[in-house]
Structure 1
Amino acid sequence: MATKTDSAALALLDLRCPRCRRGKLFVTSALSTRFAEMHAHCPICDLALEPEPGFYWGAMFVSYGFSVASFFVGGAAAYYLFNDPPTWVYVLIVTLLVLITTPLVLRYSRAIMLHLFGGIHYNPDAAKTTPAPPRA
């Protein structure tokens, strides 16, 4: 069975650091009110998780793609499950779907941005080194 460190895709799906594939990217769970709070540095390999100032502005384009997918899924579900309901039902379903999935969309948009466009390469030895002391 593959582990998180075997595959970049599994590390991405589990929201792990792209360099060591072990450290968590986010401080709390997606169900917390602080769902967007990321570690400044990977807790395992001390990689800076914001490669440059404003890096995650690009994640809004990934988030837009997720939102468009939500519109299509919500619209198709409303059409087929409720037999082409009135317009307000479409609006309500799509709005609820977008609001409910916001924490996951934000997290995965940032993780995809970091993994694909961060210029960070996997280093299996990065996790074996002693991490730096926690930063204030």
Structure 2
Amino acid sequence: MKPIRAWWLALLALRCPRCHTGPLFSYSMYNLGHFMDMPVSCPVCHQHYEPEPGFYWGAMYISFTFSVPVVLGSGAVLYWFFGDPPTWVYVTTVAVVMLLLTPPSFRYARAVMLYAFGGVRFDKRFLEKGRTA
């Protein structure tokens, strides 16, 4: 697997912030029993994914930031395109949409947290073919 050069593409692909090659999560996002499982460190460059204990508590604020536009957007779609349905329709729709978006929201909140606040930067040495730490 080749490293991804652009940091934002590596973030979208949920790759290690140091080598842009190793996966941040152990299982598929759609494996609902294990979508939260992260390896302790990158299998390629051995970068630890948890810089300090409790590091990912801050990811819940990022997840909240992802959730606000989803909730507002769902409400706006219901209001404008479905003629302002009863309150139970709003609540049910938002609950179902948020439940469906839980795995990607969780993963991307953690990835953003690691990329923005983990103190890890891309190491260009990993662009060389076959290079490992």
- TM-score (norm: length of structure 1): 0.89
Task: Give the aligned partner of residue 14 of structure 2.
Answer: 15
Structure 1: 4+ residue segments shifted above 2 A: none
**How many Å separate the matches in 1 of 2:78 and 2:85?**
7
Task: Give the aligned partner of residue 113 of structure 1.
Answer: 113
**How many Å separate the matches in 1 of 2:40 and 2:124?**
21
**1:122 and 2:114 matched:** no
C-alpha contact (below 8 Å) 1:4/1:14 kept by paired residues: no
Unpaired segments ≥5 residues, structure 1 = 131-136
**1:100 and 2:103 matched:** no
Unpaired segments ≥5 residues, structure 2 = none
Give the superposition deviation at 1:45. 0.2
In the alignment of these two chains, the number of paired residues is 128
Give the superposition deviation at 1:129. 2.4
% identical equivalent positions: 47
Task: Give the aligned partner of residue 27 of structure 1.
Answer: 26
Greater shift, 75-84 or 23-32, is seen at: 75-84
C-alpha contact (below 8 Å) 1:23/1:44 kept by paired residues: yes
Give the superposition deviation at 1:4. 5.6
Secondary structure of 1:53 counterpart: coil
Task: Give the aligned partner of residue 65 of structure 1.
Answer: 65
Task: Give the aligned partner of residue 86 of structure 2.
Answer: 86
